[in-house]
Amino acid sequence: MGIAEQIQTTLDGRWGEVRQQLRAQLDPDTFGPPAGLIPLDEHRQRTLDAVLQMTKTDAPRDGLTIEQGGTNEHGASVTAFEMLGHADLSVYVKAGVQFGLFGGAVANLGTQRHWDEYLPGMLDGTLLGCFAMTETGHGSDVQSLLTTATYLPDSDEIEINTPSLPARKDYIGNAARDGHIAAVFAQLVVDGENHGVHCVLVPIRDDSGEPRDGVTIGDCGAKMGLRGVDNGRLTFDHVRVPRLNLLNRYGTIDDDGRYHSPIENPSRRFFTMLGTLVRGRISVAGGAGAATRTALTLAITYGLHRKQFTAPDSEREVTILDYRGHQRKLFPRLARSYALMLAQNALVEQMHRIAAGEETSEEAQRELEARAAGIKALTTEHATDTIQVCREACGGAGYLSVNRFADLKADTDVFTTFEGDNTVLLQLVAKGMLTGYKEAFHELDTRGAFFFGARQVTEAVIERTIGGSLIQRLISGSPGRDADNALSDRGGHLDLFEDREKHLLETLAMRLRRAGDDDADGFTVFNDAQPHLLLTARAHIERVILEAFVSAIDATPEGEARDLLDRVCDLYVMSTIEENRAWFLEHGRLSASQAKGVTASVDELCDALRPHAQTLIDAFAIPMAWRETELLEFLGETSEDDGQGVARRSATQDEAVSAER
C-alpha cells in the first residue's frame, strides 16, 4: 500500500468501507452535477431522481434503529451521505431533507405508531417530506416561532395556522415541488395553554400533487445555488389534522385531550427535542468538508501543472505551486481540511455511539450537541473561505462553470447560515462551556473547597472525550510552556491550545458575572462580551479538533504515512497559532521572537510539504470521474508533466520522504 493509500485509511476512518462502496456506487451521470445550466425544473427532476436512487443504498435504513425498521448503523449512514458532498450538492441537500430532516423528525420526535406509518414511505421514497421549521420572521430563534397548532377537543384534531405573514414557513426544502407531507414546528396550544414548540405531521399535497385545502405553497424561486432543491413557502389557513399526527415522544395529548410530557420544564423539553435533531448539523459539516476537499484537489492539481513567469536567470517557467505565496494560500487550508475531517470522523463516531444506545448519559448528548454546533460552524466557514481561495488560485479558468468552483461555491454558501447560523452556533458552544463552568464551580464549592482559583474550575471543566489519556500523557510529557522548545513538541501544542481555551473561559465567566450586579443591564454586559464569547467557542473547538488529529495520528501505524500526517498536523497547529498570535502575544503566552518563529515555521512546513502535495490530495481518494474538469486543458503542452507524470511524481515523492528521514 502506497503512502497515499495509508493516509487514506486514516482519513476514511471507521466507516472506510462505506466510503469505498459509495465511491463505486455514485455514478457521476446520476449523482454528479448536470453538464451546464439546465432548466430549473429539469434540474429539480434530476435531483429527485438521484434522491430516489439513494433509496436503493443502505444509507437511509442505516440511519434508523431496529424498532424504526432500520439497521442501527447510524455512523455508516452519516458517512454515506457525506460522500454525496462530492456529488451535485443539490442531491446532497435534498437527500438530507428527505432522509435526515424529515425522516429524522419522525424517527426522533415520533413514537412507534409514526414509525410504522411513515418511515417505510420515507425510506423507499414513496412519501416525500419537508421539515417546516424556519419562518420568514424567525430562523435562529426557534422558540419564538409564530405558527400555532391548537388542539380541538370537539373533533379530536389539531389545527395548524399561520397567524401572520412573518409566520409563513420559508426556505423549506422539498416544499415547492415534490413534498407531500411536512413536519411542521408550531406552538402547541391545548386547552388554552401554550406548551411550546412541538412538531406535527401535516399533509400538504393531495395525490394529484395539488396543495391541500387551506395550504398555500409558494416557490422561493432562484437561489444563489442548490438549483436542484425546490425550496418553498408554506402558509396554513386553519388546516386540521388528526390528533395522532402530533409527533409525541416528548409531549403528547392523551385520549382525554390532556397534555402530558416526560419533561416537566418547557424550556428543557424544547432543547431536548431540538437536541435529537443534531444529526442534520453533523451532516452539513460532512458535506461542507467533502466539497472543500474537492475544491482543494482541483486547485492543487492545477497548481502542480500551471506555470507562470520564469525564474530569475533562467528560461524555466515556474510551476505556480512552487511560489511561497501560492503555497501559503493552499497548504494551511489543506492542513485544516485534514484536521476538520478527522474531527468530523470522531464526531460521527460519538454520534453513532449515542444513537446506537452504546452511550446514554445526558452529558454525552449535551457534549455531542455542542461539538456538532462548533464543528459545523468552523467547517462551513472553512468551506466558504477555502473554495473561494481555490477558485482564485485557478484564475480565469476557475471562473468557468465547467471547472466546478462556481457550483461548489454557490451551493455551499448557505451552509454557513442554515442548520443554525454559525454565529448563533458558536454562542451555543460558549453557553455550554459556561454552564459546565458554573456546574464545576458549584460542585467544588459544595465539596467545601472554598479556596480555589478559577484555574481549578477550568481544570475540572475541560473534557477530553477524544483520546483523553493519550492527550494527557503528551501534555504531561511536554517540556512546559516556558521552555525554549515548547513550540516544537506536540504536548506543548496541546498545552498551548488548552491554556488559551481555559484563560478565555475564565475571563469570560468573570465578565459575565457582572450581569448579576444590581446596576448592570444584562443585555449590555452580554453584548459587550459577545466577541470574547465567540472567541472562547472557537478556541474550544480548535482544541477539540487538534485532539482528534493527534488521536488519529496515534492510531496510524508507524512509518512514512504517519510521519507525513504528523507534519500536516504541525502545519495545522502552526498556522492556527499564527492566525491567533496577536492573542498569544497580548497574553504573554508567546514572546515576539517566538511569534516570528511561528511564521517562519509555517513557511518551512509549506516548503516541506510541497513535494507531497500530490500524495496529500490523492489521500482524499476522490474518484477521477467526480472531478472531471477542463482545468488542465492545454497545460500539458507547456508542461513537462502529463497525466502519467503526476502518478510518477507521486511515487518519487514517497521516495523523497524516505530519503529525508
Strand order in the sheet with 215-219: 169-172, 232-236, 215-219
Instruction: Give least dist CB 57 to its own copies, A.
Output: 29
Nearer to its own copies, 406 or 656 (CB): 406
Give the span between the Cα atoms of 2 and 7, in whole angstroms. Answer: 9
Q: Using an 8 Å Cβ cutoff, are 142 and 197 in contact?
A: yes
DSSP string, 440-481: HHHHHHHTT--S--HHHHHHHH----SSHHHHHHHHHHS--T
Nearer to its own copies, 23 or 138 (CB): 138
Quickly tell me which residue has 448519559 as its cell: 361
DSSP code, position 591 = -
Instruction: Give least dist CB 351 to its own copies, A.
Output: 25
Instruction: Give least dist CB 45 to its own copies, A.
Output: 17
Give the span between the Cα atoms of 160 and 152, in whole angstroms. Answer: 11
Nearer to its own copies, 256 or 313 (CB): 313
Q: What are phi and psi of 251, to 5 degrees?
A: -175, 125
Nearer to its own copies, 37 or 449 (CB): 37
Nearer to its own copies, 464 or 532 (CB): 532
Instruction: Give least dist CB 582 to its own copies, A.
Output: 4
DSSP string, 226-272: -TTS--EEEEESSEEEEGGGB--SS-EE-TTS-EE-S--SHHHHHHH
Residue 33 C-alpha cell reads as 452535477
Instruction: Give least dist CB 523 to its own copies, A.
Output: 4
Identify the CA nearest to 401 among candidates 1, 38, 22, 77: 38
Instruction: Give least dist CB 588 to its own copies, A.
Output: 7
Identify the CA nearest to 111 among candidates 323, 254, 6, 280: 254
357: left (phi over 0), alpha (psi -120 to 50) or beta: left
Nearer to its own copies, 417 or 456 (CB): 417
Instruction: Give least dist CB 38 to its own copies, A.
Output: 10
Nearer to its own copies, 1 or 222 (CB): 222
Q: Using an 8 Å Cβ cutoff, are 632 and 302 in contact?
A: yes
Q: What are phi and psi of 513, to 5 degrees?
A: -60, -25
Quickly tell me which residue has 464551580 as its cell: 441
DSSP code, position 316 = P
Nearer to its own copies, 76 or 234 (CB): 234
Q: Which long-range contacts (CB under 8 A, 24 or more apart) does 591-598 make?
A: 594/487, 597/487, 598/487, 598/574
Quickly tell me which residue has 510521519 as its cell: 563
Instruction: Give least dist CB 107 to its own copies, A.
Output: 25
Instruction: Give least dist CB 474 to its own copies, A.
Output: 27
Nearer to its own copies, 72 or 161 (CB): 161
DSSP code, position 187 = E
Give the span between the Cα atoms of 64 and 85, in whole angstroms. Answer: 21
Instruction: Give least dist CB 374 to its own copies, A.
Output: 16
Quickly tell me which residue has 451532516 as its cell: 283
Nearer to its own copies, 171 or 620 (CB): 171
Amino acid at 434: L
Nearer to its own copies, 209 or 312 (CB): 312
Nearer to its own copies, 112 or 530 (CB): 530
Amino acid at 399: Y
Instruction: Give least dist CB 31 to its own copies, A.
Output: 20
Instruction: Give least dist CB 184 to its own copies, A.
Output: 17
